[in-house]
Amino acid sequence: MAYIKGNRNQITLLPQVVEDYIAKDDPVRAYDVFIETLDCDKLGLAIDESQSGANPYWPKAMLKLLIYGYAYGIRSSRKLERACYHNLSFIWLTENIKPDYRTIARFRIANKDILKNVLRQCARMCLKLGLIEGNTLFVDGSKIKANASYQNTWSKEKIQKYENQIAENIERILNECQTVDAQEENDGSLVKLKKELANQETLKARISEIAKELNESGKQKLNTTDTESFVSKGDRGAKMYHNAQIAVDEKHGLIVNADVAGQSIDANQLSTQTEQACDILDKKPENLCADNGYYSINDIEKIDAEINVIVPSQKQLIKERAPDKIKPFPKDMFKYDDKRDCYICPENKELRRTDLTIPDRPNAIVYQARGRECKRCKDFGACTASANGRKIIRQKNETLLQRLAQIYKSDTGQRIYKLRKQKVELPFAHFKHNMNMRQLLLRGIEKARSEIALCAIVYNLTRMISLLGVNRLKEAMIGV
């Protein structure tokens, strides 16, 4: 049986026009129609046919190049330039223009704010097409490596260590200089020592600048490459990261909003992400769901009371997953009497309000039973071992705590929470595994937001093509 072999000398003929390079139902045509239907004025994308100076590349073509490149994990400016020469779909999409990598890089940085607006128009287009309902939103975050080395991270201890080392080096060099005879000023060893001393003085000045930046930032650690990134430990040691945030619609799992938080944890982010998503949808969702990492009462208080927030507390998760770890006589066994402002224990004894305070919990109100009554109780030792009596801590916003617990335990809350993983964690898996977004290319939180917005746009377009098909999607987008 003969092998199938190629022949580089075989005469072939490409179509005479670039339009015929690509099939009519190729996915690249959906990307092309999407960019063409965008409102450039609302995007803030400047298009001026009469501008002076060197002729720039057509902005929409550059935008197509970036978005389509991210769809297939081609994010590097040099690789995008290469694709414009070697990949027929890129040649077709950009209409055979061939910008160099510097032009591509400059366009991406100069238009970083526009990409957020592209995602906004994409989400609103999905809303008009009925692909996004906006009734239930899921919020989640994921850490993505920053374009910065952990070696360039400084703490107060590291700065002090380097300052001590520099001081020792300067003292050593000065001592060595004194031993060199004044008659040998032009000797190579003395010149070398003076150069080394100058280097140490320069390093000392740089360390002082870093110490000043660290104090002004208010952080425990500061990375001098990307000052807005943070340190987090993983399986392979400490790395620098950014915290990507997305809000996803329940119906088809399409992304409504994408952002990058300026902190390593998700707490205090739920209200911000909800506000941004509501602004895009021009409506409030009925339900909002997130994992317990977003459980922050002070932050949840900022969310509109008409929205059902489905976020479990740590205690609720422990009850579900490890009920044996729950201590006997938990707080929910004590009934609160709002008329008398006291708690009633299972033995019908009162826990009265006290003036006690908790330093790190300013909103906490402490209720305590009488010590003599607790010591006479049959459950003394199990309920409390304190001779002063059992304490119960009530938050000033306890009503909200109870409401959140009831919403989570309800049938609707349980149904929605079970959907959380498959709806909101899937996009991050697509970002990292299919789009190669394991590390950001750009530095700084604003540029990181532009990259995450690109990923969200591409994810939505990929899902839209899967749901409607290329031809139907093209017709639907043109008709919007």
pLDDT in tens, 74-106: 989 999 999 999 998 999 998 888 999 999 999
Give the pLDDT confidence score for residue 225 in this predicted structure: 83
For residue 206, give both structure tokens. 């740089």
> Using CA atoms, how far apart are residues 289 and 139, in angstroms rounded to an integer?
6
Those residues whose C-beta lies under 8 Å from the C-beta of residue 445, and which sit 6 or more positions away, are: 228, 242, 260, 262
User: Among residues 307, 332, 328, which one has the least CA distance to residue 402?
Assistant: 332
Give the pLDDT confidence score for residue 183 in this predicted structure: 47
Give the pLDDT confidence score for residue 52 in this predicted structure: 57
Give the pLDDT confidence score for residue 190 in this predicted structure: 57
Phi/psi at 377 (5° precision): -75, 145
> Using CA atoms, how far apart are residues 332 and 369, in angstroms rounded to an integer?
16
130: left (phi over 0), alpha (psi -120 to 50) or beta: left
| Residue 467 CB neighbour total at 10 angstroms | 14
Q: Strand order in 335-337's β-sheet?
A: 335-337, 342-344, 350-353, 364-368, 391-395
Buried b (16+ CB within 10 A) or exposed e, 282-306: eebbbbbbbbeebbbbebbeebeee
> Using CA atoms, how far apart are residues 234 and 77, in angstroms rounded to an integer?
29
From residue 141, give the alpha-carbon distance in Å to each of 92, 178, 323: 36, 60, 28
pLDDT digits (tens, 9 = 90+) for 319-369: 777 777 778 888 888 998 888 889 999 989 888 988 888 887 877 889 899
CB 216 within 8 A of CB 222: no
Q: Which residues pair with 243 in a beta bridge?
A: 143, 261
For the chain, residues with pLDDT lower than 50 are: 181, 183
